Chain A
């Protein structure tokens, strides 16, 4: 006897939103839960609050594609303040889509370990050349991924990240990434990109962790103190929307003009853009003094 195909409700309620729709938004997306994957992550995760001298708001939303196909989201974010060094670090990570059951575990491990390692590094270690200190933190995170990975398929945890060690004592903001997560500054004139993006096809294989040499794909940037009002770390789904859509940029610049709370953060990411089906994760840090 075969079981009948389930029929979804004709109408499913949700809160109204003023978030924009850009392009032709097709109807017919389903939302299916991932019942057979005990490793799935919640489809909505959000936080907001004081983190040391900074205000942080973050949200990770499972994308339309994963919901439609009934697979788990693969983005994670993390923040950490170290009691001994007083260092604060934040990370967003994205498990690679080709590993649909386990990549979120890699993203989670990577985000948490890297935030901890960056925050635990004394501020003096970043000095005039932060690369060795950042590289050491990335190596720790890579090692943790290698330890966690199944030796028969270490790529099952394949993940990419963007991370920041937040500024202290007038020092610069230090940013690092491996892969296609991104970072943007938000100033009076709106967003500006911190990492460049290559032209060409979107789905080009890039660097990821775990890797034999985790520093091969490591990119590093610094932003001088006072260089932006807020920092946005974004996984590629959101970063592509920021780069490709002026309407989404305007919307999010207005939404994140001032520090916000959890629900505001979630609603900020509820826009609809044609072809934007990937998970969306943003971690926004507002720097003092606050208006």
Chain B
């Protein structure tokens, strides 16, 4: 039971970007991701609600998963530059996300209250590693784990609708169109707006809601599926 904190802390909204950087993302798509990150930093600098609440962690995945930026206040963090590498391994991505969510929130200090973490997952492909990705996903979304996140999945290119619907806990979308750089740009813009609107929602009530601010003409919503 949480009672009185003995040291100063403030509520935090932890946001995790889980971004596919496999070889298929090379070129324009990964360049579009890198070009969009300053937009996120700008919102955190300019919008006081987001700036006071949101902390962002950037994780990349290909055949392995890496921490590009640990959970941080983007006002004071240097943005990473993502580079493409290897095949696509969802299992590694979900395992690292679980580890980093718990580590990031615990590092905020004892007694720090947090809003439900949100993972924004983005991929242009299918899992093609040997290990099964569903077990690490189950561990990530286990409701008995106090840090379980809501997951919003965005796909484009060769991303599989069924996989995206399974990964997402609340919302899954496939970006419309053929221009992958434009799709990535739109996904990143959506993600920034969603962080902004969700931060506002959380600040105005203890039961603040995840708000995903999509431009309907630019996405096809996908059905949410149970992990089989």
Q: Which of A66, A97, A245, A246 has the most CB of B within 10 A?
A: A97
Give the distance in Å from the alpha carbon of A206 to the alpha carbon of B208 in the complex.
12
CB pair B200–A203 under 8 Å, yes or no, is no
Whole-angstrom distance between the Cβ of B170 and the nearest chain A Cβ? 13
Task: Check: A152 CB closer than 8 A to any chain B CB.
Answer: no
Residues 256-291 of A, flagged 1 when their CB comes within 8 A of B and 0 if not, give: 000000000000000001111111000000000000
Stretch at the interface among B30-38, B42-50, B125-133: B42-50
Which residues of A have CB within 8 Å of B216?
A: none
What is the interface of chain B mostly: helix, strand, loop, or mixed?
loop
**CB under 8 Å from chain B, chain A span 76-106:** 94, 96-98, 100
Task: Check: B12 CB closer than 8 A to any chain A CB.
Answer: yes
Complex: chain A residue closest to B113, CB-CB: A202
CB pair A98–B4 under 8 Å, yes or no, is no
Q: Which of B12, B49, B114, B205 has the most CB of A within 10 A?
A: B205
Give the distance in Å from the alpha carbon of A243 to the alpha carbon of B203 in the complex.
17
How many residues in A have their beta carbons less than 8 Å from beta carbons of B? 52
CB pair B115–A23 under 8 Å, yes or no, is no
Complex: chain A residue closest to B6, CB-CB: A246
Residues 40-78 of A, flagged 1 when their CB comes within 8 A of B and 0 if not, give: 000000000000000000000001111011010010000
User: Which of A74, A97, A198, A274 sits near B10, CB closer than 8 Å?
Assistant: A274
Stretch at the interface among A5-13, A25-33, A108-116, A170-178: A25-33
CB pair A68–B49 under 8 Å, yes or no, is yes
Which residues of A have CB within 8 Å of B146?
A: 199-201
User: Which of A29, A65, A197 sits near B3, CB closer than 8 Å?
Assistant: A197
Complex: chain A residue closest to B145, CB-CB: A200
Give the distance in Å from the alpha carbon of A205 to the alpha carbon of B85 in the complex.
40
Interface residues of B (CB under 8 A from A): 1-12, 46-49, 51-53, 111-117, 146, 200-209
12 A-B residue pairs with Cβ-Cβ distance under 8 Å, sorted by A, are: A25-B52, A65-B203, A69-B204, A98-B207, A201-B117, A202-B114, A202-B206, A243-B2, A244-B10, A245-B10, A275-B12, A278-B205
Interface residues of A (CB under 8 A from B): 22-29, 63-66, 68-69, 71, 74, 94, 96-98, 100, 180, 191, 193, 196-206, 236-237, 240, 242-247, 249, 273-279
Q: A100-B204, A197-B3, A204-B207 are in contact. List 12 more A-B contacts (CB 8 A).
A: A97-B207, A197-B2, A202-B114, A202-B206, A203-B207, A242-B4, A243-B113, A245-B10, A246-B5, A249-B4, A275-B52, A278-B205
7 interchain residue pairs of minimum CB distance: A97-B205, A277-B203, A65-B203, A26-B48, A65-B204, A275-B10, A236-B206
